[in-house]
Amino acid sequence: MTRILLIISTLLILTEPGLARGTYQKPADFVAESFSGQPPEAKVLQLTDELKQTIEDILQHKYKGRRVRYWQQNNKTVWVLNEIGKKKPITTGIVIEDNKISHIKVLIFRESRGWEVKHTFFTKQYIDTSLSDNTKLDRSIDGISGATLSVRALTKQARIALFLHHKITQP
């Protein structure tokens, strides 16, 4: 019996990271849920050279896009963004209300490590976060040992969503 438990435990430990990859929620479902099932039409923000440069400064690498899609209702915006963790993109949904993050969720995780960022114990740190200056968060985010690159990816996405929200909602 002990041997069977040991084998089962070993299999669970070895397969857990592989099971962590995947789609936790479809982006369209996240958007709909964020607006109580009645999402507004998607909008597109054309990136000026200045906006693109700021995004690249946050990402610390080139950004290929020239536009970003978002959804807005009054002073609430929803962003579905991608950023590379170690080698593959992490898709994250971010809801901004009144210039603060009200919800953030990992929607699709493609890496083999760092999947712990999907858990609420981690993402709740971002709730009520805003920008302290043009592109820095107003608080530090605690990392997760072994998930440093995934933590950085989510933090960059949060900063970009807050920055772009501010740009479209402030006159």
First to last CA, the chain: 68
pLDDT in tens, 125-142: 999 999 997 789 999 999
Write down the pLDDT at residue 2. 66
Write down the pLDDT at residue 134. 72
pLDDT in tens, 77-121: 999 999 999 999 999 999 999 999 999 999 999 998 898 999 999
Q: How many CB atoms lie within 10 A of CB 83?
A: 21
CA atoms within 13 A on the CB side of 31: 19
DSSP 121-160: HHHGGGTT--BSSSSSBSS-----TT-HHHHHHHHHHHHH
pLDDT in tens, 19-73: 457 899 999 999 999 999 999 999 999 999 999 999 999 999 999 999 999 999 9
pLDDT of 160 > 50? The answer is yes
* Amino acid occupying residue 25: Q
How far apart, in whole angstroms, are the C-alpha atoms of residue 166 and residue 85? 25
DSSP 58-117: HHTS----SEEEEEEETTEEEEEEEEESSSSEEEEEEEEETTEEEEEEEEEE--SS-GGG
pLDDT of 6 > 90? The answer is no
Handedness of CA 97, 152, 140, 147 (dihedral sign): positive
Roughly what angle, to the nearest 10 degrees, separates helices 49-59 and 148-169?
160
pLDDT of 5 > 90? The answer is no
How far apart, in whole angstroms, are the C-alpha atoms of residue 82 and residue 119? 18
Write down the pLDDT at residue 123. 96
* Secondary structure class of 23 (helix, strand, coil): strand
pTM for the model stands at 0.87
Domain segments of the chain: what residues?
Answer: 2-169
